[in-house]
Structure formats: structure tokens, C-alpha cells
Amino acid sequence: MKRTQIVAGVATTLALGLALTACGSSPTATSTAGGATSGAAAGGAAGGTLHILSGTATEHWDPQRVYVGVNIEYGNRMFTRTLTTFGPVAKDGEPATLIADAATDTGTVSADGKEWKFTIKDGVKWEDGQAVKCEDFKYGISRTFAVDVITGGPNYAIQYLDIPKNDDGSSKYAGPYKKTGQDLYDKAVTCDGNTITFKMAKPSGDFNMAATMTAFGAFREDKDQGEKSNYAIFSNGPYKLEGSWTANKGATFVRNENWDPATDGFRKAYPDKIVWDESLTQETMYERIIADQGDDKNAIAMDQAPVTAMANVTSAEGRYTVVASPYTRYMVPNYKSKVFSNDKAREALALATDRSAYVTAAGGDQVVKATNSLINPALPAFPNTPLLAGEKGDAAKAKEALQASGLTLPVKINVAYRKNDTLDKAFAGLKAGWDAAGFQTNLIGIPAEQYYGTLQSPESATKYDAYWAGWGADFPSASTVIPQLLDSRSQISAGGPGQDYGYFDNDEFNAGIDKAMALTGAEGDKAWGALDTEVVTKHFGVIPLINDQFVFAHGSNVEGAVVNTTFTGYYDIANVSVKK
């Protein structure tokens, strides 16, 4: 499940946004790619201290509990080696390849796609000098099943592995603490020397992509304190924690002497020390990086720049970058509302939608593009559905549709959005467009921390007529978009609409999802794209609004800071060095 986060659109979850055409290809492909940016190709200077500035509190560092994309990436680069990972790239936005990390290769899958094998490299060690064993991976992955203790992380292990489920969808294995169903897990995940074998419930060709998440990382049983392990970082990567982690503040990381570069094909780990400071606001953090004084010269920004800081970022010439974000922001008409159960009313809303206001409010056309597809342009399935009535919408046509709906004009609608300054401005413009078409829009800004909870509560179905929402794919596949947002069978329950916030429920469409699921490659992409276009232009079940881009900046001494859009869409510190 991936949606945009509380703080100004920071990714809450893994962002594997970009076209990943080369997954599974040679692990060395990236290192030969010529580097246009500074340090990456030239080889940076070893030593020094890198400062990471952040405006977002890290919720979890426990590898099995991390689901925020940026934390998956930084965690992997600093202290949690995974079986596979997405390699560093030489240029911003370049597609990264899937490479081996703690394993010798990116895994081998059996002919029927139901068994995956990885062999762990010799010489991969924990920070206390003990070898990282197959059993450590097996134990680490088992922790995901302890859903009452290990909360917040992705549950792909539960979905993928061949362990029977209870009627309510939970696994019959309850994790390593309760040990209920331990024999089932021991059958699904086996160790033979250094080789770990996973048995899949269904044939799956992309399990080695899921394995890039730290949730599939190793965890040593004797270091496991359950809930208390949340910030107790125990490293097997190039850096280890000095002292302890302080929530909302951060910590200092120093070199892990037991990390052997010979076992690591891609982490350069140039700086001797990394100081993580998450006590800032996004504005002050960018002010400091732009001012470029003292230690801030050696700093990189973890979060993307807020809209208000964008204009100043341009003054940091050569130190900022603009890259595509993995998200699509869209409107959801509520099928349970009196107004939008009416097909013509939804059509009118779609026709009257003025995206230009949103584009400007979110930072201008350099960083925001209007879209009419739910699937992000970075995914191969992106259908690029043309806008129904241009960027500004067509109030006259919309009014005709609304008059044809049989509703009495003006039609009162309650529209909910996640309250922040940018969306306040964007929705003022959207409201003007809708009102011109005969709606009478009442905007309701809901505080960020309650937003998605409110959407997903059953009471909202009768309270609001339409909602704002945002979504990005967990994998570079539209199979983590369309079914997650529009498959009524898996989403809607007595407890609420799941991610199908508008209660879109169409049997024919669901059948289309099943068909697309069975297809692979380009055919699958075409099927997903067609479904996207269908729901947008035929049912008006969602109204895609915009795709935005992220802006990042770093200090003048930092070299090799490149945004890895395939992995998560944030700076990749594998090759970062600090000039002396």
C-alpha cells in the first residue's frame, strides 16, 4: 500500500517508480555506464563527514518495519544489506538495474516460478564480526509474520510465501515470538549451507524485486528485542550507529570495520562518518542547504523541497535537481453519494476540472504536469489518455452534461482534500471550475494525519461527494496500481472502501483486472493501460489530476549525489563523497 505521506507529499512507502526495463540483467551493467555527474564516475575522495538533513521523523529503522521508500534506500545503503537491490545510477532519473547485494546473484527461479534460491556471499559480516548466515535472513523475514509486534512494514512475505492462510486472510504462521505454525514457515523457507530457498504460493517472476526491501533483510535472533528493536540498528553494512538513535533528532553513524568492501560490488561508502539530523523543518533545511555555510556544505537533503522553497533552490546553481515523483494525484467521485451515483454528474465533474490551478499551486509547469491517467508516466503501462477538455476544462460542456443529469442546478457537493497550503490554493481553482459548470462546491480540508483514515471510514460514504487522493506504485508494474485502487472485490468490505475510496464497483471491470493479471510484459501493460483509460473516460470513476516532480539540493562539497528514481526517488548515497 503506497500513498503520499503526511508531510507535504513525502513518500510513505516504497517508491519503485520508474521504467525498469532491465530487471534481472547483468549486475555489473551500472558500473560501466558513463557518469555525467560529478563523483560517481570519477571516484570521490574518501573520508570526511556527510550530513543528512531531514524534515521528516523516521518512524522505524527496524528493517522489517521500514516501508517509507526513502528509509528503505538509506537503510540499505548504510546498514541493512539485502539479498538484491537496485544499483546506483550515474545520472538523475536513469533507470537502475536489479543487482545482487548480500547474495551472489539476483537469484534463480525454478521453471514453474514457484521456487526462488539465493546464495549468501562469504565474508558478509555483522558489526560484531560474526558472519551473516542464511539463518539470519530466514529469521529476519519470519519477523514480518509477527504482525502484532512488527507493525508498519510491507507484508509481501505473507503474500508471496507458500504458507496457508486463515479465512480472514491472515497467515497461519504467527511469527518467531509466538511460533504458532513455525513448521509451516520452516517448510516454505529453508537453509542449506549459505543457500536460502523460498517456496512461493503462486508463480512469481518478480520476487527478487520485492527482496530489495529491507523487510527481506537479515536480523540476528540474539539481537531481537521485538518492539524495542525499532531504532536499535545492528549493522551489516558500511556504517554502524555511534551511541543510540534519538527519535525526531537522529544520530551519528561511523564506519563499520567489519564491512569488507570486497564483498560489496557497489557501495563506495566514501565518508568516514554520517550525521543524520531530522530535527528540522523542510523550509529551514532547504534554507540551510541553499545558504551553504559551514557543515551544511557537506549536507544533502533527505526530503524533497517544499513548494515554498523551490524558488530559492534555483539560486543553488549546480546543486539542485528536478526528477519525476512516482505519484499520481487524482479526484475520486463517491459512487455512494446522491450526486455522483449519477453518471452524467461524474462526467460533468470530469469535464469541468481545471488542472491549471493545481499545476501552478504545486510549483508551476516546470515541476508539475496535468495528466488524465491513473498510472504514472514512469510505468511502462502508462496509457497517456488525452485530457477530456484541455488543461483548463470546459465549463460549458460540463454544464450541458450536468443539465442532462436531471439534478437541479446548482448541485451542492462536498469535496474533501488533505489540508495544506498547496492544496488550499489548488482547490480554490478547482472549485472555481466546478462552480462555473453548475456545481456549488463546499471544500472541506481535512488535517493530514487524519486524511486517509477519514476517507476509509464507512461514515464518509454519506458525508462527502468527492475526494482528493494520491498513489504511487510499489513495483514498476501497474498491477500495484489498478487493482489496489479499483478492484472492489479486494478493497471494499464492511470496514470501509479500502483504497477504492469512491466505492467504484464494476463486475466487467473486475473481470478485466483478472485478465490483465494473467498477462505479462507488453501485453499486460497494454491491458492495464486500457483499463486505466476505460475507468477515466467511460465510467468517470476517477479523475486523474497531475503528476508532480521532486526537487532536491545538496551542499557544495558533496559529490556524486544522484537521485535514484527506480529505487525510491531520493538521493542515493552509495557513491556520495565529501570534498575536503
Partner 1 sequence: MSQASAVGGRDGAVDQVAGAVAEIAGRTPWQITRARLAKDKVTMVAMGAALFFIVLALLAPVLTHFGLLDPYSNHTDLVGGLGSLPKGPLGGVSPEHWMGVEPGTGRDIFSRVVSGLTVSLIVATLAVTVSVILGTVIGIVSGTAGGRVDWLFSRITDFVLSFPQTLMLIALSTIVIDMLQSALNMERTVPSMIFMILVMGFFGWPIFARVIRGQVLSLKQREFIEAAHSLGAGRARIYFKELLPHLWAPILVYTTLVMPQNIATEAALGFLGVGIQAPTPSFGSILNDSVHYATSDPAYFIFPGVTLFLVVLSFNLLGDGLRDALDPKADRQ
**What are the cell numbers at 545?**
489530476
Give yes or no for residue 205 binding partner 1 (CB under 8 A).
no
Give yes or no for residue 431 binding partner 1 (CB under 8 A).
yes
Give yes or no for residue 348 binding partner 1 (CB under 8 A).
no
Nearest approach, Cβ of residue 347 and partner 1 (Å): 24
Give yes or no for residue 255 binding partner 1 (CB under 8 A).
no
Helix extents (H) in 305-406: 307-313, 343-352, 355-361, 395-404
Q: Is 138 helix (H, G, I), strand (E, B) or coil?
A: helix
Contact yes or no for 334/504 (Cβ under 8 A): no
Give yes or no for residue 356 binding partner 1 (CB under 8 A).
yes
Give yes or no for residue 569 binding partner 1 (CB under 8 A).
no
Binding mask 527-566 for partner 1 (x = CB under 8 A): ------------------------x---------------
Strands (E), 96-238: 98-100, 108-109, 115-119, 189-192, 195-199
Looking at the Cβ atoms of 16 and 359, the one nearer to partner 1 is: 359
Binding mask 272-301 for partner 1 (x = CB under 8 A): -----------x---x--------------
Give yes or no for residue 310 binding partner 1 (CB under 8 A).
yes
Q: What's the rounded Cα separation, in Å, for the pair 5 and 327?
A: 11
Nearest approach, Cβ of residue 414 and partner 1 (Å): 10
Number of residues near partner 1 (by CB under 8 A) = 36
Q: Which residues contact 151 (CB under 8 A, 6 or more apart)?
A: 65
- DSSP bridge partners of 200: 161
Contact yes or no for 101/107 (Cβ under 8 A): no
Q: What's the rounded Cα separation, in Å, for the pair 302 and 148?
A: 30
Contact yes or no for 2/14 (Cβ under 8 A): yes
Nearest approach, Cβ of residue 307 and partner 1 (Å): 6
Nearest approach, Cβ of residue 297 and partner 1 (Å): 19
Looking at the Cβ atoms of 138 and 288, the one nearer to partner 1 is: 288
Q: What's the rounded Cα separation, in Å, for the pair 16 and 67?
A: 12
Segment contacting partner 1 by CB under 8 A, of 15-23, 91-99, 421-429, 561-569: 421-429
Interface with partner 1 (CB under 8 A), residue from 43, 181, 445, 498: 445
Segment contacting partner 1 by CB under 8 A, of 111-119, 142-150, 414-422, 508-516: 414-422
Q: From residue 350, how far is each of 333, 375, 532 by CA, in Å?
A: 9, 17, 15
Looking at the Cβ atoms of 233 and 415, the one nearer to partner 1 is: 415
Closest by CA to 177, choosing from 156, 157, 150, 159, is 150
Interface with partner 1 (CB under 8 A), residue from 428, 453, 514, 515: 428
How many Cα atoms are found within 13 Å in the side-chain-facing hemisphere of 358?
Answer: 26
Nearest approach, Cβ of residue 410 and partner 1 (Å): 12
Looking at the Cβ atoms of 430 and 481, the one nearer to partner 1 is: 430
Query: Residue 390, by phi and psi: left (phi above 0), alpha (psi -120 to 50) or beta?
Result: left
Give yes or no for residue 461 binding partner 1 (CB under 8 A).
no
Q: Which residues bind partner 1 (CB under 8 A)?
A: 283, 287, 306-314, 322, 356-357, 359-361, 363-364, 366-367, 419, 421-422, 424-425, 427-429, 431-432, 442-445, 551
